[in-house]
Structure 1
């Protein structure tokens, strides 16, 4: 299984499908990531706050896969934006992962009430320039946060990882990203099971038309939108299902039907609002 890559604005590229380990318990992370690598995933998305970087690192070390064939993302947590804390945080993450660099390092949340995300972004740019990460990006940033970091630093992030699924498509952010050549990564791409996404006719009908599961139809929708996506599962059969999304394509009509599922009033959000996480 060869997973396609998409280009980033810094000259690097990123596998468009990866494996996310949000809420994968530390004691299960090594097994889960090992199985994901066996299935064919080469892009692993973790974070300091997940508490499972050691397990991810152990799986990578045991896999025998060449470092250049892997893409590893981790993230800076909210209480480490000030001073030199980002520098210490990346060193700690690298130590836990057993790596000398990650491929992508993200500011996990903007924490606007603390008003220190511009500093955090400046530090990530420095971390990138020192070679501890190949690319630097942000997560959960809204348009005002994005405008501000670009205006004050002159550096545009490579990616913005945001909650994005058919009921919450954040067209304001995706439009901004397209205009600034920023790649969107979708977290919670299947709505985290918090609404009946798979029972919606637009999804169910598309899945049936292609002989695929509803989850596969939704993941295909993300891919055709150009988003980077990493569904999370700790079940091998689901890992295998989620990667079988490159042998079919949704029609324009099927894409439009899923596009129309967003109520556009923000009510489709299933996670926290970025302004409220501090």
Structure 2
């Protein structure tokens, strides 16, 4: 990524770089070292946004490192990811600098309406890491979305992106197909009506299409994954030293 940025010829101020701190790098010292290492690999002297990836482990210590790097101008904005509303309020209340962004699961089948109201109250921007829900639940074939898409001569994906934008949600759509990447840009030449927005509100299943961070089994899964990654890292390090 760093080499691609350097070779692109695009001015740095026209590129918005976001990175995250993973759980195994939580804690003040490790988080700070992780961010600085990311900057070194990206070959940049500042990041536009840096987030804590998950609401586990020593998130408070890690966030203090982000606050310090923000004060130093090495990060332009700091935030969190996958923090449910209760954790977001806690974090916003007991840290020196309130998180500026919370990147969470938001899509038509999990609209996070109540969470959105709380984020608005605290002035924290919500960002959708899976604006299409990765197509789960037959998202792109949802009858209500197909009817609206046909009405505007747009794709279901474009309707979903427009819906996010009108709700004030930052979106980061992902595609490996060039034509779909281009299609994703063409969402500023139409607006959904209030009736359209109301129809989309009716397809909210109000539950994750992936997993719950409140599930103890899922927390244990994260802990196990961190331990396995650490073992793999240590094994690779030993092989290099040998």
TM-score bracket relative to the smaller structure: 0.7 to 0.9
Q: Tell me, yes or no, if structure 1 residue 97 matches structure 2 residue 21.
A: no
Shift of 1:155: 2.4
Which consecutive unaligned segments of at least 5 residues does structure 2 have?
223-242
TM-aligned CA distance change 1:172 to 1:117, over 3 Å: farther
Aligned length: 217
Q: 1:270 aligns with which of 196, 200, 209?
A: 209
- The 8 Å contact of residues 161 and 184 in structure 2, kept in 1 or not, is answered as yes
Between the two structures, name the one with larger relative contact order (CA 8 Å, sep ≥ 6).
Answer: 1
Q: Tell me, yes or no, if structure 1 residue 235 matches structure 2 residue 177.
A: yes
SS at match of 1:160: strand
Pick the structure with more strand per residue.
1
Other-structure match for 1:250: 192
- The 8 Å contact of residues 18 and 50 in structure 2, kept in 1 or not, is answered as yes
- The 8 Å contact of residues 149 and 155 in structure 1, kept in 2 or not, is answered as no
Q: How does 1:182-193 map to 2 (within 5 A)?
A: 182-193=124-135
Could you report, residue by residue, the CA deviation over 1:141-175 in whole angstroms, capped at 9, with x for unpaired residues?
Answer: 11221122222224211110001000011223211
Q: How does 1:149-168 map to 2 (within 5 A)?
A: 149-168=91-110
**d(CA) in 2 for partners of 1:92 and 1:224?**
37
**d(CA) in 2 for partners of 1:192 and 1:273?**
16
Pick the structure with more helix per residue.
2
Q: Tell me, yes or no, if structure 1 residue 118 matches structure 2 residue 60.
A: yes
CA-atom RMSD in angstroms: 1.3
Could you report, residue by residue, the CA deviation over 1:12-58 in whole angstroms, capped at 9, with x for unpaired residues?
Answer: xxxxxxxxxxxxxxxxxxxxxxxxxxxxxxxxxxxxxxxxxxxx322
Which consecutive unaligned segments of at least 5 residues does structure 1 have?
1-55
